[in-house]
Structure 1
Amino acid sequence: MKFTPDVLLSAPRRSAGVPNAAGSLILYTESTYSFQTHKKSIELRVLEVDTGDSHELAKNDEISDLNWLDDDQFACLQAEKDGTTSLYVASISNCLQKSEVGSSHYVAGAIEAAAGSLKLAKLDAEGYEYAVIVSAPACPDGTLYTPDKAARKTQSSGQLYTNLMVRHWDHYVGTSRNSLWYGKLSKSKSEGGKYKLSLLTNALKGTALECTIQPFGGTEHFDISQNGIIFVAKDPELNPALNTKCNVYLLQLQDWLQKEASAPRQIIVPGFEGACTSPVFNSAGDKVAFLMMAKNGYEADRNVMFIASVSGGRSELEAQTVLQDHKGDLVQEGYHGLWDRSPQAISFSADGEFLLATAEELGHGRLFDIRLHPSAPLGREIRQLTDRGYVSSAIPLRDGRVFVSGSSLVDNSWYAIVDARSATSPSPDALTTWSHSNSTEGSKFGLRKKQVSSIWTPASNPAVNKEVHSIVVKPSSFDPKSSRTYPVAYLIHGGPQGSWGDSWSTRWNPAVYAEQGYIVIAPNPTGSTGYGQEFCDSIRDNWGGDPYQDIVNLFDWVGKNMPEADNERAVALGASYGGYMMNWIQGHDLGRKFKALVCHDGIFSFAGGMLATDELYFPFHDLGGTPWYDPGFKQTVQAKSTFDSSTLSDWRRWDPSEHLANWSTPQLVIHSSKDYRLAISEGLAAFNVLQARGIESQFLCFPDENHFVLKPENSLAWHKTVLNWINKHVGLPTYTDEGPESEEFWGGVRSEKDEVAEMPTQGKPET
């Protein structure tokens, strides 16, 4: 099989697995899109760990938020077509026996709104009662924002705003906000012993707090125990468009049926004013842990782990750092160097002795545990539990093992069980005792691990990091003994505080380009995450400085050291910040060395585009302030003399539109109308300049997409356009003979019966 965009987009997409406490059964959903029927199908499945057998439990239901009640029964949410949500309860054994229609699952309750992020906590040893919490929209008066209320229309479509933010991600902000709703799931002594959901109460009514935090918030923003809720929310005193500051709140509940919640109490973290996430309880419910950043306005600051005791009705709640030195300056035997990493998510181990943390490191998403016992060195000990691939979730099992979900550049989904109970181990890989791959480690796609490698090239600023890491993906047919050369595709990531990692993507998948016949090089230049916080922070006031020079150094190194890579036939592609870099490269010397460029949702002009963005704190931080105040040239910025721009403000120094006279390389521009992170005017302006200057160019627009292209048919058209464009300029065969003037290029004619639904994405979102 040749790995193509069609294969990528039609391959089954498996969700993160949800194991029962014993680790014997794993629930997951699997969605598949057919380009023949133009429809998506969804299956709820269970995987038996001992045998590796997978069984279908339900089909074509919008099921989410799987929660085990015991080792056999589970609860989940189902989105109904009328905009409401049902809470289902089912038994695995009954599902597999299918002894009686309807006996395996039933509706335990209905929520008259679009609800998600279900979490449960057992209230008694026998499992007769569970505390329940979901996230659902609330009206300004605190009542549930139901489909009827959402459908109400006035004669005028106008909306008047008096504060930021006006729009967020892909929608104009309305009057509803996300809220947490609590209740109880109880087993009835009649009705066959079925569970029934109580009425739900708005936990945040009258508080001006919103949880989950938009636009991507989910269960990582709150947790539940027998006695209450721990959650994070943006500071209600500050405008969310100008600030990232979040607070951590504890809401204690004596009765999960009480109609009014007490006021949530804030957990105080002195000196920390930034964003926070991943609040979690230990199993006893007397301790909480969470991640918090120090700097307000900087969404890529280092996440620091905190822990707090919440037992005994304390009047004041104050957290302490998990590591004695929050910079991570802690060395242990077996771990080399300083642990200067930024955890993405944390949880307590089953016994409460460890914190489990996922963090980016050197192009991987790894799992670590941090021992909390006082006998550990300095009271803390960090241990790496996984090595390869990219961990997306980690769930502790009751016996001390950890169930892990992840992916790699060649495998779209793998599950593993890591046995972290051993005091010592020769390597992290030795801790994995069981694994299961959705694609047989990529072989179902014709991909192989040996296609992926790494290179390290000179950094622009060796005082921070001496070398820059890049991931290299070669064609599966690559023969190192052959003298054949391949064109090079340089992929520049978004963020800019992001990275390319050993993880699967359905939007930017390096293997798609490699299987067209490219050597793909994906650099992690200055500003990338997973290489130390100083390296990440160094991009501030420096967007077109060190990162650009890192890419120049990489390009030169490849030309001198990789004879199989034909730099004379090179192209560059990027989205978001990567799109900005395409426009920046256009105006500088490196742009003349590429045969073609592809700019997806990139920045054309700071003054225009960045002032129209939804989260203004981002440019105000990254560009060193506001454009109406010029703090002068900063000596800390490693500005290259070739730019000769020390008299310009930061907003002009790195602005691509300051260098339009140099634009001459063929460029494909892609932008979507519902992208409110970077308005479509940025793409139109770039295309207009290219056309007016007589430069070969194309403009691809999706009126129904946001900063990401998510719909399968749109994504396929995106890939067709991109591959046809770059292949043409490097002399590779055209990807598809369908011309853009044909209906087939765009997926054919859409009928009224077609249900083209969005598919879920994997991996972290780009900024």
Structure 2
Amino acid sequence: MPWRILIILLALGSSSAAQTAPLGASGGTPKRPFTFEDMMKLKRLSEPAPSPDGKWVVFAMQDVDLEANAKKSHLWIVPAAGGEARRLNLTENEEERPRFSPDGARLIWTSKATDPTQIWMSKFSPESGGLDGEPRQLTNVSTGADGGIWSPDGKNIVFVSAVYPDCKDDACNKQRDEELKNSKVKAKVFDKLLYRHWMSYTEFKRSHLFVVSVEGPVAQQNAARDLTPGNHDVPPFNLGGQDLYAISPDGQEVAYTSNIDEVEATSTNNEIFLIPINGGTAKKISNSPGNDNTPLYSPDGQHLAWRSMARAGFEADKQTLMVYQRKLEQARNATAEWDRSVGSYVWALDSKGFFFTAEDRGEAPIWSLTLDAKQPTELARLHADDLAFGGGNQLFFSRASIEAPNEIWRQDVAARGEPAAVTSVNNALLSQVAIQPLEPFSFKGAENADVQGFLVKPPGFDPAKKYPLKYLIHGGPQGAWGNSWTYRWNAQLFAASGNYVVVMINFHGSTGYGQAFTDSISGDWGGKPYVDLMKGLDYVEKTFPFIDKEREAAMGASYGGYMVNWMLGQTDRFKCIVSHDGVFNTESAYGTTEELWFNEWEFKGPPWKNRELYRKFSPHLLAEKFKTPTLVIHGQLDYRLDVAEGLQLFTTLQRLKVPSKMLYFPDEGHWVLKPQNSRLWYKTVNDWVDQWCGAK
């Protein structure tokens, strides 16, 4: 063996030993295991907004008050070159969504100083990095204001408000809201689908875009003009991410996203529209039957880009980048030949290309693409989001990993330099706890395809010992595990709670491995993904002798909940199961969900047209085989997968006398978000797994 290779192997061995040595073995201060209380103390950064001169970054940072069972977000600021972050506005009011004016002299944000929220504004001093004078309320609409963006000329703000589509002015909206509030009758009459969505029933309102001048007293601001009147949502419902509307560089036009199909519950057909900022008739410029979204003008105003999916009704189709030549009124697909989905994106400052993120094998790297190229170039391999330029070639973004939540980073895209941290607000806490790295592996799964998985070891790991296993199964199903952070299914916390090895598999249907791999789960929910999970478990049992195959728990939510329900009727190899918000009866799940496009794509139509496929992969039809002790979890406000699915599963387990327990949240939806509910969730889940798989 050449000496150079031997030295490298010895170095790797030393590094591995250092990572897996018992706590405090290095001679330094012993690091303690990561706890739920630690996780609640972490600062939650989002929405980095660089100043146009590149000197500052303003961002929203959320703190959790566990005892008050509350989360509150405030605005913070940090030098763009890095340094100590500080509060920007010393107020008790909750604040979020900061946005600099084009000249950097003013700042707007959404404030909860009033109920409902409104847009506030203040002058900003680039020299001191502070607010200049007292902030003032910019909007005063009775239905509230959020999502504010500046027109590039600095004269107007476009924002979002949910209004009654038949109301012509704010007085009408205010009267209708007051009548509803004061009425003793709370019944609702529905005459079309999507009468409830995510975790709330309809209030018969529509999101509209409004425009308001930044000049003038607040008393005049309730005269904000509705740019998108009518009985359609602008923008459509979304769970965060990049804005679904933009203003042209000359400030004269607004591009926005909307779905105008007759039956919204079966349609993913969001379209891109243009409308003059002074009002007028909207013009549709997209033509894909799938989801077109997030329009963004080039800095020189010649082009408009947006993300696009080709297939109707498929929410996980490959997301390509369309480029529309405004003068010629022609669009082309800039990433048609690239087999990944575009995530957060920005135009290059010279308007000659793009920078964007895209999932790839457990990461979300930053890529660059020129307008004349067919394939992008990878700039940085990490897990990035929220891209934004500030100060020339400095690209700012949020970065997370399995070892830490979001911090703000930057990269000089001209020099192609290494990314550098801008904030480090969680370093002090994380330096005190034993955080474990993410260890990837791969194996041959269904149809002999390459499948990737990840492993996280417990703190103080000793390779000579045997450890029980928590086998986490992701939702989506078109989702993926990877080098990112989550507060809901946190691998670090699962590993540290009771000393478990945590394993996660990106089975057929996962994202970041090409569209064909993602497509392969549709119509095959209990097929290839189940084979991958069983072969993945075989692989880790054979490859990692420290895994105790007699103490393994399968755990999943959403599609992961479906899969563990499916496993109940397929195998007895797990000591226990945790099923959160999972499908139990595929036919009843169809009748109680809201986004019908999802079920109709995954099961190739409604039940009355393809009943055999629904029944082929329905866990409830295998109930006579259920034996594994199961914890069932469901939220009353989950309208994606109705609580009836969890109740049916628990009833079945109880009647079969299978050891079982149900954790029911009357005030949570598909995700458990309230701090004390989250604490109960983790305790109940970990106690259940310990009961069946814990220390002997």
TM-score, normalised with respect to structure 2: 0.90
> What is the aligned residue count?
656
Aligned to 2:501: 519
Q: Structure 1 counterpart of 2:133, which letter?
A: S
Which amino acid in the other structure matches residue 358 of structure 1? T
1:81 deviates by: 3.6
From 262, 265, 281, the counterpart of 2:280? 262
Deviation at 1:181, TM superposition (A): 0.5
Q: Which amino acid aligns with 1:73?
A: R
State the alpha-carbon separation in 2 of the partners of residues 544 and 381 from structure 1.
Answer: 35
1:493–1:499 contact (8 Å) kept in structure 2: yes
CA deviation vs aligned residue, 1:573-602 (integer Å, no higher than 9, x gap): 10000000010000002xx11111000000
Residues 96 and 302 of structure 1, relative CA distance in 2, 3 Å threshold: closer
Matched residue of 1:31: which SS? strand
Question: What is the deviation of 1:626?
Answer: 2.0
Matched, 1:87 2:96: no
Determine if contact 1:347/1:357 at 8 Å carries over to the other structure. Answer: yes
Whole-Å separation in 2 of the counterparts to 1:433 and 1:319: 36
Q: Which amino acid is the alignment partner of residue 60 of structure 1?
A: E
The secondary structure found in structure 1 opposite 2:380 is coil
The one of 192, 201, 206 equivalent to 1:163 is 192
Q: Which residue type is aligned with residue 122 of structure 2?
A: V
In structure 2, the partner of 1:363 is: 362
Q: How does 1:107-186 map to 2 (within 5 A)?
A: 107-123=137-153, 129-142=154-167, 143-144=169-170, 146=173, 149-153=176-180, 154-186=183-215
Q: C-alpha separation between the residues in 1 aligned to 2:313 and 2:668?
A: 27
2:384 aligned partner: 391
The one-letter amino acid of 2:41's match is: S
Bigger drift between 43-52 and 293-302 goes to: 43-52
1:279 aligns with one of 282, 295, 320: 295
Q: Give the partner amino acid of 2:341.
A: S
Residues 1:524 and 1:418: Cα distance change in structure 2 (over 3 Å): same
The percentage of counterpart residues that share the same residue type is 27
- Whole-Å Cα distance in 1 between the matches of residues 604 and 643 of structure 2? 24
Instruction: Please tell me the residue identity of whatever aligns with 1:392.
Output: D
Alignment partner, residue 17 of structure 2: none
Cα gap change, 1:410/1:598 in structure 2, threshold over 3 Å: closer, same or farther? same
CA contact (8 A) 1:268 1:318 kept: no
Farther-moved stretch of structure 1 (142-151 vs 657-666) = 142-151
Q: Secondary structure at the match of 2:63?
A: strand
Q: Structure 1 residue aligned with 2:450, among 467, 488, 508?
A: 467
Q: Secondary structure at the match of 2:59?
A: strand
Task: Name structure 1 gaps, 5 residues minimum.
Answer: 124-128, 329-339, 631-647, 734-767
Aligned partner of 1:747 in structure 2 is none
* Runs of 4+ displaced beyond 4 Å: 92-98, 144-148, 194-198
Q: What is the DSSP-based 3-state SS (H/G/I as helix, E as strand, rest coil) of the residue aligned with 1:413?
A: strand
Could you tell me how far apart the structure 1 residues matched to 2:375 and 2:621 are? 50
Instruction: Read off the aligned partner of 2:379 and give its amino acid letter.
Output: L
Equivalents in 2 of 1:560, 1:409: separation in Å? 25
Structure 1 pair 45/84, CA: closer, same or farther in 2 (3 Å)? closer
Out of 319, 322, 334, the position equivalent to 1:303 is 319
Contact 2:558 2:582 in 1 (8 A): yes
Q: CA deviation at 1:387?
A: 0.6
Query: Does the CA contact (< 8 Å) of 1:369 and 1:383 recur in 2?
Result: yes
Question: In structure 2, the residue corresponding to 1:491 is in which secondary structure?
Answer: strand
* Pick aligned residue for 2:680 from 693, 699, 717: 717
- The separation in 1 between residues aligned to 2:391 and 2:151, in whole angstroms, is 15
Structure 1 residue 11: Cα displacement: 2.1
Deviation at 1:219, TM superposition (A): 5.0
Deviations 1:111-150 (A, max 9, x none): 3322211111231xxxxx4221001112122444856532
* Aligned twin of 1:636: none
Matching residue's letter, 1:237: D
1:440 shift after superposition: 2.5
| Counterpart residue type for residue 240 of structure 1 | E
The question of whether the paired residues in 2 share the 8 Å contact of 1:221 and 1:231 is answered with yes
- Kindly indicate whether the alpha-carbon contact (under 8 Å) linking 2:104 and 2:126 is maintained by their aligned counterparts in 1: no
Deviation at 1:107, TM superposition (A): 3.0
Name the structure 2 match of 1:354: 353
**Cα–Cα, structure 1 residues 204 and 51, in superposed 2: closer, same or farther, change >3 Å?**
closer
Q: Distance in 1 between matches of 2:73 and 2:694?
A: 40
Match of 1:62 in 2: 94
What is the CA distance between 1:31 and its match in structure 2? Answer: 1.9
Q: Which runs of 5+ in 2 are unaligned?
A: 1-31
Instruction: Give the alignment's TM-score, normalised by structure 1.
Output: 0.81
| 1:350 Cα offset (Å) | 1.5
Matching residue's letter, 2:80: V
CA distance in 2, matches of 1:391, 1:279: 20
1:705–1:146 Cα change, 3 Å: farther
Q: CA RMSD in A?
A: 2.4
Equivalent position of 2:477 in the other structure: 496
CA drift at 1:227: 1.8
Secondary structure at the counterpart of residue 551 of structure 1: helix
Q: 1:56 to 1:650 in 2, by over 3 A?
A: same
Report the equivalent of 2:662.
699
Q: CA separation in 2, counterparts of 1:149 and 1:447?
A: 55
**Contact persistence 1:185–1:198 (CA under 8 A):** no
SS in 1 for 2:504: strand
Q: 586, 589, 593: which one pairs with 1:609?
A: 589
Give the Cα separation in 1 of the matches to 2:505 and 2:614: 25
Alignment correspondent of 2:443: 457
For residue 330 of structure 2, what is the amino acid of its counterpart? E
- One of 395, 399, 406 as aligned partner of 2:399: 406
> Cα distance, 1:155 vs. partner?
4.4
**Deviations 1:70-114, CA, capped at 9 Å, x for gaps:** 34531212123432514222424698678xxx8243334433322
1:753 alignment partner in structure 2: none
* Distance in structure 2 (CA, Å) of the matches to 1:88 and 1:177: 26
Q: Which amino acid aligns with 1:140?
A: P
